Structure 1
């Protein structure tokens, strides 16, 4: 039973680290999303080069 507790704690720690890393990437993508799609009056301009760079 104790071995399972240790394993779950290790997994929980890894998940928290992954969440932090994902949050950084999401923030970076949010900052760039305004540059990926630009709306100008009735026109929408998509920056395909920037989108491809982030795939």
Structure 2
């Protein structure tokens, strides 16, 4: 294989691995659960009547 091609492939793989690593830290760092700090009034944001 061409050395330039090999370097390009390596760079692409490193970029992909870094993205996956970041996603794992964000999404799976807490056993796949999303943790949010509770804020008063936040529960009403999902109700359609609160949109208007």
TM-score by length of 1: 0.51
Which structure has more RCO (C-alpha within 8 Å, separation ≥ 6)? 1
Greater gyration radius:
2
Unaligned runs of 5+ in 1: 42-55
Q: How many residues align?
A: 37
Unaligned runs of 5+ in 2: 42-52
Task: Give the 4+ runs in structure 1 shifted more than 2 A.
Answer: none
Separation in 2, partners of 1:18, 1:4? 21
Separation in 2, partners of 1:28, 1:39? 23
- Give the structure with the larger helix fraction: 1
* 1:45 equivalent in structure 2: none
TM-score by length of 2: 0.53
